[in-house]
Structure 1
């Protein structure tokens, strides 16, 4: 452990991925180092904010007790809730943003199955919303969304992320008020795209200028378009795709039908994809239709962030600055967990990273914080560590083809939840693509 007043500043075994020196550098770079040594040094406060994301069910005093529970015999401070709040305001959000900018990016697993397709790193772009407290200060920046049945009960934040589909690590993210749409936030993520990537996106991002701007980064694009959109046919290819243009950008278009068959019945849907991969010999249309399904990995990432970590809870912060601080802390912790999982699966050749259980890694990381274990690495480097050992011991089976009805799992009002029974069964399925 660190000594003296710095002892509570740790994140269990995850501290090895975000060591003391890194946090200190973030504080120096953003000018947030304490002017005098307090009972709550700035470094300790940063770790407190990160640990709070692992324990969303506990208030900050409760999180402090988890950080200090295994430090028996050490002279540890016992700050009040007010002191913890003042310390968080003193640190602000800038050190957390600095840490996220340093840690974000695809995990270095070039040989891992499922991370690349035909030598292209598969990434996805999409948005979601996070719920924040209904406090007067928060409402000055973040608003409630209007809609049926009175709209949302809480203000919301729009989060847009760029995710590596194979490892579900965060390449970049932006967030802000929901009064701004996803396609307006999207250009802020384009500097993180590179040649050698292929970006998957849904039809919300099929705007001509946005697709052209993505292509200008050197990254390839595979985006869904609306079925009724008129696309001129300039040339037809043997694989069923055809050459067209999106504005002035040459694209290849694939129209196809997907039929999903289960014991409950059969469903057929029509899709239209546009891609900047014009070589139909090297990039067959049939493979593109299968590749597009990987876009759902970003939906799984949001599920892990909002359901597994947050448990569907409203964020804690009751000021706009506090909301920004908490979201960056949440993104950092998610990235640390995903990095630990990728490191663990990389120790077993030919293991797909999506077989690592996120809930297992999250629970193991929480245990290591409470035990204050593995804070400083030993002389022998162990890529898996205790968290990784738990992950490897509980690897999920290889991905099976299953479907589940896309329904509202939680109604805004309990009265709206009454009515016909909702089928939430997951069915084994077979898929046919034409």
Structure 2
């Protein structure tokens, strides 16, 4: 019998175990219908912590990660199972328990009195996307795809596309979606799938995301939007507001501005230090209730640790000029 049998269930993952408790892991495993048929060195509970450790120690081998977990535990720092055993155990565990653990723990954490996490009564969140390399094999290449050269030959590893919804004041992840490098609508489609998680929030996005479907999904879920756009998007005013910002329609490609399938947006243009024009789109249409200078500052400082400054005139070292259409 392997010396780890009966011991691996006692392995923890440092401070992370304060949130990912053994009780939570056991509850998730039971809910996923996963139970070890017999005692084994790589128990299902251990493998949950092991996969989390793989994410924390990305540059380490399977053996090194195992040593990080058990190196200080008597009777377990020797006889580490071989790599193939970890591979089989990880495949048997599958992705479902890890996703359920994530869903159980993810969410906004800022208390109501943390002013840096809120703006005019709304919790502030941001959507962002990035790519992760995944192992090179036929299955991952077919599932995720990746970059190719001009002849269609793969470049580098297959890549998964990840889009997250994050509380800006704390950097806590509220939701996340994983998709393929190409196909399925890309980052906008993954972001749209998270709309319900943003209810009641003001959500900031960069210029990869504007679109009618995404806009409707978030606003219908009860979220508000502040999205950067290219300057040719929403470029024709239908109504100029008192502060120089303007209202217009954003429609699907090929639709007229009067098409009922579009959405009304407010456009805020500004420059930083006299540089390029930055265009923001928002569904917050009233210039008195939702000042343009505060919204521009909010976008500009969306990842700042604090948000005590809410006026452009108070931002140090950078000159930000609103551009009026009036």
TM-score w.r.t. the length of structure 2 is: 0.83
Give, in angstroms, the shift of residue 61 of structure 1: 1.7
Question: Would the aligned equivalents of 2:110 and 2:170 in 1 still touch at CA under 8 Å?
Answer: no
The 1:122/1:71 distance shift into structure 2, 3 A limit, reads same
Query: Who is 1:241 aligned against?
Result: 245
2: distance between equivalents of 1:93 and 1:77? 27
Which residue is 2:87 aligned to? 85
Unaligned runs of 5+ in 2: 252-261, 310-315
Distance 2:238 2:190 in 1: 33
The Cα shift of 1:4 comes to 4.2
Q: In the alignment, which residue of structure 2 is the partner of 1:208? A: 212
Q: Which position in structure 1 is the counterpart of 2:181?
A: 178
CA distance in 1, matches of 2:78, 2:47: 14
Question: Equivalents in 2 of 1:245, 1:5: separation in Å?
Answer: 63
- With over 3 angstroms needed to count, the CA separation of the structure-2 counterparts of 1:74 and 1:255, relative to structure 1, is closer
1:24 aligned onto 2:29? no
Sort the Cα spacing of 1:233 and 1:152 in 2 relative to 1 into closer, same or farther, 3 A: same
Distance 2:72 2:148 in 1: 47
Question: RMSD in angstroms over aligned alpha carbons?
Answer: 2.6
Distance between the aligned counterparts of 1:229 and 1:85, measured in 2?
48
Kindly state the Cα deviation for residue 212 of structure 1 after the two structures are TM-superposed. Answer: 2.1
User: Which residue number corresponds to residue 271 of structure 1?
Assistant: 278
Deviates more, 1:4-13 or 1:115-124: 4-13
CA pair 75-168 structure 1, distance change in 2 beyond 3 A: closer
Secondary structure in structure 2 of the residue aligned to 1:289: helix
User: Distance between the aligned counterparts of 1:123 and 1:88, measured in 2?
Assistant: 33
Measured at CA, do residues 282 and 148 of structure 1 come closer, stay the same or move farther in structure 2, by a change above 3 Å? Answer: farther
Q: Which has the higher contact order (CA 8 A, sep 6+)?
A: 1
How much has 1:32 moved relative to structure 2? 1.8
Asked if structure 1 preserves the Cα contact closer than 8 Å seen for 2:270 and 2:320, the reply is no
Counterparts of 1:143 and 1:75, CA distance in 2: 38
**Which whole-Å deviations, capped at 9, do the CAs of 1:50-104 have from their partners, x for residues lacking one?**
1222222221222222222211257976322222222111111110011011111
**CA distance in structure 2 between the aligned counterparts of 1:293 and 1:432, rounded to whole angstroms:** 9
**Structure 1 runs not aligned, ≥5 long:** 260-266, 298-351, 356-397, 400-427
Tell me if the contact between 2:110 and 2:117 (Cα under 8 Å) persists in the aligned partners: no
TM-score when normalising by structure 1: 0.63
1:9–1:48 Cα contact (<8 Å) kept: no
Residue matched to 1:114: 116
Deviation string 1:357-383 (CA, Å, 9 cap, x unpaired) is xxxxxxxxxxxxxxxxxxxxxxxxxxx
User: Whole-Å Cα distance in 2 between the matches of residues 243 and 137 of structure 1?
Assistant: 48
Distance 1:107 1:232, change over 3 A: same
Asked if the contact 1:254–1:274 (Cα under 8 Å) also holds between the matched residues in 2, the reply is yes
> 2:296 aligned with 1:289, yes or no?
yes
In 1, the alpha carbon distance for the partners of 2:179 and 2:320 equals 40
Q: Is the 8 A contact 1:231 1:245 kept in 2?
A: no
* Cα distance in structure 2, aligned partners of 1:255 and 1:75: 60
Return the offset for 1:166: 1.1
Deviations 1:248-290 (A, max 9, x none): 433222122221xxxxxxx611022121112211211111111
> What's the secondary structure of 2:208's corresponding residue?
helix
- Kept in 1, the 8 Å contact 2:226–2:282? The answer is yes
Q: From the superposition, tell whether residues 205 and 57 of structure 1 become closer, same or farther in structure 2 (CA, over 3 Å).
A: closer
Equivalent position of 1:193 in the other structure: 198
* 8 A Cα contact 1:240 1:285, kept in partner: no
Q: Flag the 1:75–1:271 CA change in 2: closer, same or farther, 3 A.
A: closer
In the TM superposition, residue 151 of structure 1 has moved relative to its aligned partner by: 6.6
Q: What pairs with 1:353-392 in structure 2 (closer than 5 Å)?
A: 354=305
